[in-house]
């Protein structure tokens, strides 16, 4: 079996690498959120104990700055942990994670990212959910980065076991052949395709210049 | 006025210690005990008789959310106040659905913690403004994904936790408890407990019946 993603052996290697990477991301995300995050909380609480201390002016200023820095660090840890692997994906499943991802993406980019879903979506194995989540992450980030989209829709449906995931934007669109030459975009597209195939799904991407791009994954569960 | 009796539950010593020190000079509050996991909380309630339990969500053995549920069921006079790093809708709503009287983020300052303790101990609910907006969003149905994701809330399966659903799916695939335990990296005992809990929660007679419901729900 040979295709654009390389030989069969190299594909197996890629799969193992991807799955190992996800395991590691999950571990790191938890460690950051529950480990470092709690230590920071401890610092925050101890700092608060100095609330009524008799500081002079410059000490008081340091104290205020310190407090703000700790809060900022807690927020950063939350964000980095979320980017690595959202806890909500493991704890509440794919739809919850996609909704949160869309909300955050909207907030950060100012582009409207809308998530909707239909059908029963809660009985999937974790690795399937992770791959679908990463595909959405990659597709939405591409749209935000290159497509100048105003609106991105993420739609997840399950119709009696036929699962369809679609990410559509109204951006500039592109010529697939041209894009294949750009290494970074090319590898992103291949990654999505590989992930889709890994969970036994089919991957499609269609793009029309000045109209927008649709990425879709279909699989039977 | 009687002091508010508080039991602090968090698996991180630094957080428990921080809370204790922070509240130490408050005359209206008394820390009556500490617990490092959800089970310890439940064990310590009878002897410490708290008015409020400050609960972390991610704890070993029994999570804070499960502990809040058990507290609401077994000790109606004890109020749960969640104290969590998680600042998103699913954790907040799930906590409230399971009987929590309040929800604070771990970067909350002392005044707000005190306010929450007072409100909650009086039988009121307390949610800071940033969190209240979550309820409004949920009410306005901005969380369409969530509603449909969880299916019909009246079905027996909606009562199951994520882990339990995962186990149920594996049972439906024909795996036995040992195989499930191996696959999920759990002990057989834990898997057996999950199976028993599923039957208790769904009030279904046996696993065969449960699998049948699961298969039917998957088709719909």
- Rounded Cα distance between B80 and B83, Å, is 10
Residues 6+ apart with CB under 8 A from A219: A162, A163, A196, A199, A200, A201, A202
- Report CB contact under 8 Å: B145, A99: yes
> pLDDT tens digits for B20-53?
999 998 999 999 999 999 999 999 999 999 999 9
* Interface confidence: ipTM more than 0.95: no
- Rounded Cα distance between B162 and B168, Å, is 10
- Report CB contact under 8 Å: B21, A42: no
- Report CB contact under 8 Å: B145, A96: yes
- Rounded Cα distance between B46 and B125, Å, is 23
pLDDT band at B219 (very low <50, low <70, confident <90, very high): low
CB < 8 Å to B143, chain A: 99
Residue A110 touches partner B, C-beta closer than 8 Å: no
Q: What is the DSSP string of B22-54?
A: HHHT-TTEEEEEEESSHHHHHHHHHHH--SEEE
pLDDT band at A209 (very low <50, low <70, confident <90, very high): confident
pLDDT band at B141 (very low <50, low <70, confident <90, very high): low
For B83, counting Cβ atoms within 10 Å of its Cβ (0-12 exposed, 13-18 middle, 19+ buried), the class is buried
The candidate with the shortest Cα–Cα distance to A165, out of A214, A208, A207, A99, is: A214
CB < 8 Å to B22, chain A: 45-46, 48-49
Residues 6+ apart with CB under 8 A from A218: A162, A163, A164, A165, A201, A202, A204
Where in chain B do CATH 1.10.10.10 domains reside?
151-219
Nearest residue on chain A to B163, judged by CA atoms? A91
Tokens of A162: 């036929």
Q: What is residue B42's predicted lDDT score, i.e. its pLDDT?
A: 95
Q: Where are chain A's structural domains?
A: 2-84, 87-220
Residue A26 touches partner B, C-beta closer than 8 Å: no
For the cut 50, the answer to whether the pLDDT of residue A67 exceeds it is yes
Contacts 24+ apart (CB under 8 A), B60-68: B60/B11, B60/B36, B61/B37, B62/B37, B62/B38, B63/B38, B64/B9, B64/B38, B64/B95, B65/B91, B65/B94, B65/B95, B65/B98, B65/B100, B66/B38, B66/B98, B67/B9, B67/B38, B67/B41, B67/B42, B68/B95, B68/B98, B68/B99, B68/B100
Where in chain B do CATH 3.40.50.2300 domains reside?
4-139
* Superfamily for domain range B4-139: Response regulator (3.40.50.2300)
Q: What is residue A122's predicted lDDT score, i.e. its pLDDT?
A: 65
Q: What is residue B154's predicted lDDT score, i.e. its pLDDT?
A: 55
Which among B15, B21, B151 has CB closest to A120?
B151
Helices vs strands, H then E, count in chain A: 8, 7
- Report CB contact under 8 Å: A122, B109: no
**Angle value at C-alpha A70, between A53 and B107, nearest 5 degrees:** 85
For the cut 70, the answer to whether the pLDDT of residue B172 exceeds it is yes
For the cut 70, the answer to whether the pLDDT of residue A112 exceeds it is yes
| Closest-CA distance of chain A to residue B185, Å | 14
Which among A45, A51, A122 has CB closest to B19?
A45
pLDDT band at A56 (very low <50, low <70, confident <90, very high): very high
Nearest residue on chain B to A104, judged by CA atoms? B88
Mean pLDDT of B135-149: 56
- Rounded Cα distance between A12 and A15, Å, is 5
| Closest-CA distance of chain B to residue A187, Å | 30
CB < 8 Å to A116, chain B: 144-145
**B138, B93 in Cβ contact below 8 A?**
yes
Q: What residues pair up with A202 in beta bridges, in sequence order?
A: A218
CATH code linked to domain B151-219? 1.10.10.10
The upper half-sphere exposure of residue B129, i.e. CA atoms within 13 Å in the direction of its Cβ, equals 0
CATH code linked to domain A87-220? 3.30.565.10
- Report CB contact under 8 Å: A160, B219: yes
């Amino acid at each position: 079996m040979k295709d654009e993603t390389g030989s069969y052996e190299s594909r197996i290697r890629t799969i193992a690498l991807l799955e190992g990477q996800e395991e590691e991301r999950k571990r790191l995300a938890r460690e950051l959120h529950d480990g470092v995050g709690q230590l920071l909380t401890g610092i925050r609480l101890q700092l608060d104990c100095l609330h009524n201390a008799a500081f002079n002016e410059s000490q008081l200023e340091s104290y205020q700055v310190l407090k703000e820095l700790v809060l900022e660090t807690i927020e950063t840890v939350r964000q980095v942990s979320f980017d690595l692997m959202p806890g909500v994906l493991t704890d509440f499943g794919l739809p919850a994670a996609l909704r949160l991802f869309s909300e955050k993406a909207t907030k950060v980019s100012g582009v409207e990212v809308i998530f909707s879903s239909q059908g029963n979506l809660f009985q999937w194995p974790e690795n399937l959910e992770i791959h679908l989540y990463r595909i959405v992450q990659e597709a939405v980030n591409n749209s935000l980065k290159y497509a100048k989209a105003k609106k991105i829709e993420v739609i997840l449906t399950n119709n009696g076991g036929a699962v369809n995931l679609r990410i559509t934007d109204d951006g500039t669109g592109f010529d697939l052949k041209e894009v294949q030459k750009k290494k970074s975009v090319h590898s992103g597209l291949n990654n999505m395709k590989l992930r889709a195939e890994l969970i036994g799904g089919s991957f499609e991407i269609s793009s029309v210049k000045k109209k927008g791009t649709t990425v879709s994954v279909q699989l039977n569960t | 006025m009687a002091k508010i009796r508080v039991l602090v539950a968090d698996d991180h010593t630094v957080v428990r210690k921080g809370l204790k020190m922070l509240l130490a000079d408050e005359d209206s509050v008394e820390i009556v005990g500490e617990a490092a996991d959800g089970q310890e909380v439940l064990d310590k309630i009878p002897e410490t008789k708290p008015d409020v339990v400050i609960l972390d969500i991610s704890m070993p053995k029994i999570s804070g959310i499960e502990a809040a549920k058990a507290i609401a069921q077994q000790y109606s006079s004890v109020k749960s106040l969640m104290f969590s790093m998680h600042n998103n809708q699913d954790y907040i709503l799930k906590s409230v659905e399971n009987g929590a009287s309040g929800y604070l983020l771990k970067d909350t300052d002392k005044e707000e913690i005190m306010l929450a303790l007072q409100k909650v101990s009086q039988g009121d609910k307390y949610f800071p403004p940033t969190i209240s907006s979550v309820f409004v969003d949920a009410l306005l149905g901005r969380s369409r994904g969530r509603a449909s994701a969880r299916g019909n809330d009246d079905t027996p399966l909606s009562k199951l936790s994520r882990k339990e659903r995962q186990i149920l799916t594996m049972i439906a695939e024909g795996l036995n408890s040992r195989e499930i335990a191996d696959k999920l990296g759990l002990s057989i005992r834990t898997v057996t407990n999950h199976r028993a809990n599923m039957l208790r929660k769904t009030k279904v007679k046996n696993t065969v019946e449960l699998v049948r419901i699961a298969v039917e729900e998957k088709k719909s």
